[in-house]
Structure 1
Amino acid sequence: MRVVLQRVSEASVTIDGQVHGAINHGLLVLLGITVEDTQEDIDWLVNKIAGMRIFSDQDGKMNLNISDVNGNALVVSQFTLYGSTKKGNRPSFINAAKPDVAIPLYESFVSTLSRKLDKTIPTGIFGADMKVALVNDGPVTILIDSKNKE
C-alpha cells in the first residue's frame, strides 16, 4: 500500500461537477492499493500517518502531528501510484489491485483512519473520474510505502 501525503491548507475532490469531499487544514491522502495488501498494511500506514510530525510548532519546526493541530484528512484512491514505467512510455498498472480486492481495503483504510483520528474522513469515490484541488502547505509532500518499513 502506498500513500502520498500532502500537508494542505485546503483540499477537495469534485465528481461530476459536485464537491464530494473537502477539508481545510490537514492532510490530503492519495492511496494506492496492490494485490498483496492486507489489514496489517492498513494498520501500519494509519499509525504512521497519524504519528507523522509534519505540522509546524510555535517555533516553525515540523514537530506536530495531525491530531496535535486538530487537522482533518481527505482520502482519495489513486491506482496510478502503482504505475510502472520500466518499459516504454505508457505506464503499466498491473500491480494495482482490481476493484474486487481494492474497494474493501480502501473502505477499511478509511474507517481505520477515522477511528484513529476520531473524525469523519471525507473521500472521493473509488474508480470515479475525480478532480482533486489542493493548496499544498509548505509545500510538504511525503511518500510512504507499507512494503518499505525499514
Structure 2
Amino acid sequence: MKAIVQRVASASVTVNNEIISEIGKGICVLVGLSRDDSVADVDYLVRKLINMRIFEGDDGKKWNLSVKDKGYEVLCCSQFTLYALMKGNKPDFHQSMAPDKSRELYQLFVDKMKQNYKPDLVKEGRFQTFCHVNIVNDGPVTICLESPKAKSSTDEIKDNDS
C-alpha cells in the first residue's frame, strides 16, 4: 500500500465541476492499493498518517506535531496509478488491486482513519471516478509512504513509531 502525503493549506476534490469534498489546513493523502495488500497494510498506513509529525508546534519547533495533535483535516483520495509500471511509454496497472477488491479495502482504510481520528475531520474523494484534486501544498511538504510487505495478513508489522 502506498500513500503520497502532502501537507496542505487547503485541498478539494471536484467531480463534473462540483466540489464534492474539501478541507482547510491538514494533509491530502493519495492512496494506492497493490494486488498484494491486506488489512495489516491498512492498519500500518492509518497509524503512520495520523501520527506523522510534519507540523510545527506553537513553540516554533519544526517537524514536531501530527495532524492529530493539531486537530487538522485529512482528505483521502484513491489513486490506483501509484502502482503503475511503465512498459515502454505506456503505464501498466497489473500491480494495482482490482477495482472490486480495492473498493472494499479502500473503504476499510477510510473507515479506520475515521475510527482512529475524528470522523468529521476525515474527508474523501469519490472512488473510481474521474475527478480533479486541487492541492495547495504547504511548504511544500510531500512525503511518500509505503507499507512494509507482510508475509501474511495475520503477521504483525513492526515499525519504529518514534
Q: Give the TM-score normalised by structure 1.
A: 0.94
Q: Offset of 1:17 from its aligned partner?
A: 1.1
Partner of 1:122: 123
Q: 1:92-142: CA deviations, max 9, x gaps?
A: 111011111100001000000011112232111111001000110000000
Q: Alignment partner of 1:63: what SS?
A: coil
Aligned match of 2:143:
142
What SS does the corresponding residue of 1:129 show, helix, strand or coil?
coil
Structure 1 CA distance, aligned partners of 2:127 and 2:102? 9
The list of structure 1 runs, each at least 4 consecutive aligned residues, that deviate by more than 3 angstroms after superposition, is none
Which residue identity is paired with 1:139? Answer: P
**CA distance in structure 2 between the partners assigned to 1:68 and 1:55 by the alignment:** 9
Aligned residues: 149
2:6 aligns to what?
Answer: 6
Task: Tell me the C-alpha RMSD between the 2 structures.
Answer: 1.3
Aligned to 1:77: 78
For residues 39-58 of structure 1, what are the structure 2 equivalents within 5 Å?
A: 39-57=39-57, 58=59
| Partner Cα separation in structure 2 for residue 28 and residue 3 of structure 1 | 10
Alignment of 1:111 onto 2:90: no
Tell me the percent identity.
39
Separation in structure 2 between the aligned mates of residue 31 and residue 59 of structure 1, nearest angstrom: 30
How far apart, CA to CA, are the structure 2 residues paired with 1:84 and 1:105? 21
Question: SS state of the match for residue 4, structure 1?
Answer: strand
Residue in structure 1 matched with residue 29 of structure 2 by the alignment: 29
Distance 1:54 1:69 in 2: 10
User: Is 1:72–1:119's contact at 8 Å kept on the other side of the alignment?
Assistant: no
Residues 27-73 of structure 1 show CA distances to partners (whole Å, capped at 9, x for unaligned) of: 10000011111111101110011110001113241100001111110
Give the whole-Å Cα distance in 2 for the aligned partners of 1:54 and 1:11: 17
AA aligned opposite 1:124: G
Q: Partners in 1 of 2:140 and 2:116 — Cα distance?
A: 25
**3-state DSSP class of the match of 2:92?**
coil
TM-score (norm 2): 0.88
Q: Distance in 2 between matches of 1:59 and 1:140?
A: 17
Residue 65 (1) aligns with residue 66 (2): yes
Distance 1:124 1:70 in 2: 20
Structure 1: runs of 5 or more not aligned: none
